[in-house]
Amino acid sequence: MKSQNANGSKVVRVGLLGLGNVGAGVAEILSTHGEMIEARAGVPIRIVKALVRNKRRKRQGAAGDVTLTTKASDIVGASDIDVVVELMGGIEPALSYVTDALAAGQTVVTANKAIVAAHGKTIFQAARKNKRDVHFEAAVAGGIPIIRTLREALASDRVTELTGILNGTTNYIVEAMASGQSYESALAVAQELGYAEADPTLDVNGADAADKLAILIGLAFGASVTRNKFGCVGITELTGEMMMDAAELGFAIKLLARARRVVTGGVETIQAGVFPYLVPLGHALSAVPDAQNAIYVRSDSLGTTLYQGPGAGGLPTGSAVVADLIEAARNVAAGTRGRSTVQPTRAGPKLAKSGDTVCPWYLRLTVAEKPGVLAAITTLLADESISLATVSQMEPSGDDNEVGIVMTTHPTSTGAMERALKKMHRLKVVRGEVQVLRVYAE
Ligand code: HSE
């Protein structure tokens, strides 16, 4: 997998599948920092061609110098390409291109969280079988080097908690909503700024964050999971009222992707899920701004560490892709494979049942304004052994016969909370849906 350029030195030849935002960022970085990158890789890295849908579309900057093709076979399995960089997103044809490239003996770099999260097993099997490497630093949290951190820097330590803000679009939206903007206008801005997925449903329903969490659980806890195996709720049901309650109680609302190691009766499980949380204002994750991502990790020896930065965008994500390319190029030039990637195994810890996951809760109820109502509700909570941390009655808004009650609880299992909510909804004095959110606690 080596070629000679005109000067007789080795060149690692790269084919990009996709030349959008991230592809353009990769081209820009390789062009601006070519010399430095060559010194670090020990070999020049050249983008030989890029697969695009439309060859006629004008491209800015270094992307404008890349040779374009509309035929995947010019890159996947092509004898003049050493490393295939998959930047298409989505499952197919990206997955087939990645496995075909590996089968043809090419190294793969991908930024595609969906295929790594849902088909990691297939991809890594193909890599092993063909004795090739797959790099995917850019698949989670854009430019933040969290994959390498978990795989290498923290290889010596046991992770007990990993809590991330893994989707920039939703972080942008909840922050904007907290300052009074509507959900719709905040989403429109996030789309304009280029943070959102092609289908923003995957951002707002939590699926994008859940795919990324599934990948991180594999690396941090050694458990092989896909996103449909744990709970996932996005931000579409958040209201301005919840934002105001949170601020009044001393919290910020954030969409958190969370996994914790829990040992009960000697059995280790991972409590995992993606949910909107009330995060105490003093906690680092409460202050992660705009479309940034952050991952808060707790491990036995190191304690807590925070990795924060841009989780999307051409140059930040491009920098993670180029870092992978440098690692790939070193190995391709040396005719060797990388060190073996930590792979989740089936023997790893199991996910806890969703009903067993435990956290404090926030509840907002609209109830009839009459004696005994609060007593009925607290009795019902006590029946499920749910202990209240705070209770406040809000000013009546409009209807004099109704009043808002905001409560927070001590740590309670999801199962107990779900049972209590079911009973609460049967009470005549409770009007409409009870609004519920999890509260972050360490
Ligand atoms: N749509 C994603 C986000 C982009 O908003 O974070 C990076 O995966």
* pLDDT of the residue at 394: 82
* pLDDT of the residue at 340: 55
Q: Which tokens hold the place of 241?
A: 């009222």
CA atoms within 13 A on the CB side of 79: 0
- pLDDT tens, position by position, 184-201: 999 999 999 888 888 899
Computed over every residue of the chain, the mean pLDDT equals: 93
* pLDDT of the residue at 7: 34
What number is the average pLDDT over the span 24-33? Answer: 98
What number is the average pLDDT over the span 314-330? Answer: 97
Q: Which tokens hold the place of 328?
A: 């790939």
Ligand 1 centroid distance, CA of 194 (Å) = 9
What number is the average pLDDT over the span 286-293? Answer: 97
Which of 156-170, 189-203, 206-220, 334-348 shows the lowest mean pLDDT across its residues?
334-348
Alpha carbons 58 and 140: distance in angstroms, whole number: 29
Length of the chain: 442
- Residue 284's contacts (CB-CB under 8 Å, 6 or more residues apart) are 294, 296, 306, 308
**Alpha-carbon Rg for the chain in angstroms:** 24
What number is the average pLDDT over the span 391-411? Answer: 87
Which of 304-313, 324-333, 346-355 shows the lowest mean pLDDT across its residues?
346-355
Which of 3-7, 65-69, 148-152, 370-374 shows the lowest mean pLDDT across its residues?
3-7
Atom nearest to 197 CA in ligand 1:
1
* pLDDT of the residue at 198: 83
Ligand 1 centroid distance, CA of 296 (Å) = 18
Which of 108-117, 204-213, 336-345 shows the lowest mean pLDDT across its residues?
336-345
Has residue 5 got a pLDDT over 60? no
Split at pLDDT 50, 70, 90, the class of 1 is very low
Has residue 398 got a pLDDT over 80? no
Q: Is 212 a catalytic residue?
A: yes
Q: Which tokens hold the place of 326?
A: 């440098």
Ligand 1 centroid distance, CA of 171 (Å) = 10
- pLDDT tens, position by position, 103-141: 999 999 999 999 999 999 999 999 999 999 999 999 999
Q: Is the dihedral of CA 240, 432, 257, 136 positive or negative?
A: negative
* pLDDT of the residue at 9: 44
Has residue 79 got a pLDDT over 70? yes
Distances (CA, A) of 254 to 150, 162, 207, 257: 23, 15, 15, 10
Q: Which tokens hold the place of 130?
A: 């063909």
Atom nearest to 166 CA in ligand 1:
6
* pLDDT of the residue at 8: 39
* pLDDT of the residue at 351: 96
Alpha carbons 380 and 370: distance in angstroms, whole number: 17
Q: Which tokens hold the place of 285?
A: 């994750």
Split at pLDDT 50, 70, 90, the class of 418 is very high
* pLDDT of the residue at 175: 97
Q: Which one of the listed residues 212, 229, 353, 428 is annotated catalytic? A: 212
Has residue 345 got a pLDDT over 70? no
* pLDDT of the residue at 348: 80
Q: Is the CB of 196 under 6 A from ligand 1?
A: yes
- Per the model's pLDDT, the better-predicted residue between 337 and 400 turns out to be 337
Continuous segment of H or E residues that includes residue 121: helix 113-129
Ligand 1 centroid distance, CA of 318 (Å) = 13
Cα–Cα nearest to 407, from 428, 422, 426, 424: 424
* pLDDT of the residue at 197: 87
Atom nearest to 200 CA in ligand 1:
1
Burial of 65 (0-12, 13-18, 19+ CB in 10 A): exposed
Split at pLDDT 50, 70, 90, the class of 341 is low
What number is the average pLDDT over the span 82-91? Answer: 97
